Chains A and B, each alone.
Chain A
Amino acid sequence: MDALKALTRWLTDPALSKRKKFLSGLDLFADLSGSELGRVAQGLHARTYRPGEVVFVEGDIGRALFILESGSVELTRRGADGKPVVLYALKPGEFFGEMALLESLPRSATATATETSRLHLLYRSKLEALLHAEPRVGAAIMGHLARLLSARLRRATGALASLPVPHA
């Protein structure tokens, strides 16, 4: 039994296993099998950002989804006075910039690493390649993005509905 475990350890790639384990914990990839997670892990590019390093700036055209593995990233937007307003501080396991996978539009906020952070980047071109090569993987990711978009829209519609209607 020990010999079998040792053989499995010798045959398998610990770095990829660690990456797959991390990805399996994310909602975005929850429905994927082990080998499908492996295909996704191969399509991701990892980069470590130093504290204060800018990931993207408000107004840049979005090209990728970012998944935070470790560290912390802050999303800010310029207020009316030109000063940055913190919108959200991301924790490990959360992702941002997902709309870039659907459309190449300007980013609505600036993302900055506030401590040494490890980010995984999934590019639109990689996702499209995955959609063609592994339709199940692509469909699962797109399905999750559609549900996320729907939930946000529902929330925004609810917030709008609760506002007082201006009289003509």
Chain B
Amino acid sequence: MPEERRVPLGPALAVLAAGLYAFYRLHEALTPFVLAAAFAYVVNPVVSYFEARGLRRAHLVIAGYLAGLALGYAAYAGIKTVLVGETEFLNANAPAYARQLQAFVLSEEAKLTRTLPLPPAVAERALGAAMDTVLQRVQALPSQIFGLVPFLLHALLVPFIGFFFLLDGPAGFDGLIQAAPSRYVEQAVHLAGDIDVSLGNYLRGILIAAAAITIASFAGLLTLGVDNAAAIALLAGVTSFMPYLGAVVGALAGFAMAVYQFGSLWAGVKVLILFAGIRLADEILLEPVIARHSVRLHPLVFLLALIVGGETFGFLGLVFAIPAACILKALAKVAWAWYASERGLAPYAPSCEAVPYT
């Protein structure tokens, strides 16, 4: 009988738990490194594509960074006028928006006070409290935005650290394979390969979809002449990560802007038609490509992952909640496939096995 292969499960789990705890304690310092690793992971296939043709990785990474800089500058120069114009327009119109909102709330307050079966003083107090909460949130917005400054600083640090990750490429992983006990190498890399295939497709897929939705929304809103097209398109792209909710957030923001700007419901309907078209194109053209071989999460698991990630790790948790949930699901799937094959639970039995070889 062949000797039994024993997986050192206890020590492996202890090391994993210690690693997770250390990550939790150091997650703020590790944020740029984690983001840089994710950036390198997403960009790596482009480098690998050209590397397969025989070119040196270092030259490709440097050339890629220079091309990225040039493209970024060209894109910025191209839409700079629009962006600057939009920012100035938003600054100039912000007081008007606020006045409009206040007038709307006051008129609704008066209507509700008349309609609600409550003493006017109680209704006014309740609505006043609700209004105060909204105003407090609005007033707190600048400080919340200011709180994001460290993450904006990461925007500079992430490509810098990512540069070194990209330069190393798969060398680090090959080092781990060399260090692993020889008999477990086959199983360990099989597991890593399965996770890589599932997760890579998912991450690249959602990023491509978000970029496509942002660009299509921006172009469509510009064509319709809707103000703040860049901000609304960005909102639509960022929220596209969320199933169901993502589809309506951008559409509602665009609808509200168009109705306010043009003063007609038809202008808003045109924006809704635009977003419905983008959504349809996404479903027909992008989803079949993205969803192939990628991990799919139930919307409730998706929301749970976002809440737990946000509560535990803050901004970093929100960014990585879904990929982490995908890793867990891929791990569970691969672990089950591994267990089933180790135990011979799913043998392959072709129907013509008994026919003689001819």
Contact = CB atoms under 8 A, between A and B. Distances in A.
A157 B357 contact: yes
A157 B356 CA distance: 9
Interface string A71-87: 00000001000000000
A166 to B, nearest CB: 18
B282 interface: no
B185 interface: yes
B51 interface: yes
A49 B177 CA distance: 11
Interface residues of B, number: 36
A61 B293 CA distance: 24
B56 interface: yes
Nearest to A40: B52
B54 A103 contact: no
A64 B189 contact: yes
Contact of B55 (A13, A48, A124, A128): A13
Most buried by B among A11, A45, A132: A45
Contact of B341 (A13, A56, A78, A104): A104
Given A64-B189, A125-B197, A38 B53 contact: yes
| Residue of A53, A124, A126 most packed against chain B (CB within 10 A) | A126
B350 to A, nearest CB: 11
Contact of B178 (A13, A47, A61, A124): A47
A35 B182 contact: no
B293 A132 contact: yes
Contacts of B174: 45-47
Given A46-B174, A61-B342, A103-B348, A153 B193 contact: no
A41 B293 CA distance: 23
A100 to B, nearest CB: 8
A164 to B, nearest CB: 19
A56 B186 contact: yes
Nearest to B183: A54
B182 A54 contact: yes
A63 to B, nearest CB: 4
B193 A123 contact: yes
Q: Say whether chain A's binding surface is mostly helix, strand, loop, or mixed.
A: mixed
Contacts of B125: none
B56 A11 contact: yes
Contacts of B357: 153-154, 157
A14 to B, nearest CB: 9
Interface in B1-50: 1-3, 5, 48
Contacts of B194: 125
B140 to A, nearest CB: 47
A39 interface: yes
A135 to B, nearest CB: 14
Interface in A19-67: 20, 34-35, 38-39, 41-42, 45-49, 53-64
Contacts of B187: 61, 63
Given A47-B178, A64-B189, 17 more contacts: A11-B59, A34-B53, A42-B48, A47-B185, A53-B182, A56-B183, A57-B5, A59-B1, A59-B3, A63-B186, A63-B187, A78-B1, A78-B2, A110-B2, A125-B190, A125-B197, A157-B357
Interface of B: 1-3, 5, 48, 51-57, 59, 170, 173-174, 177-178, 182-183, 185-187, 189-190, 193-194, 196-197, 292-293, 338, 341-342, 348, 357
16 contacts: A13-B56, A13-B57, A16-B51, A20-B54, A35-B52, A45-B174, A47-B177, A56-B186, A60-B183, A63-B190, A104-B341, A121-B185, A123-B193, A125-B190, A129-B193, A154-B357
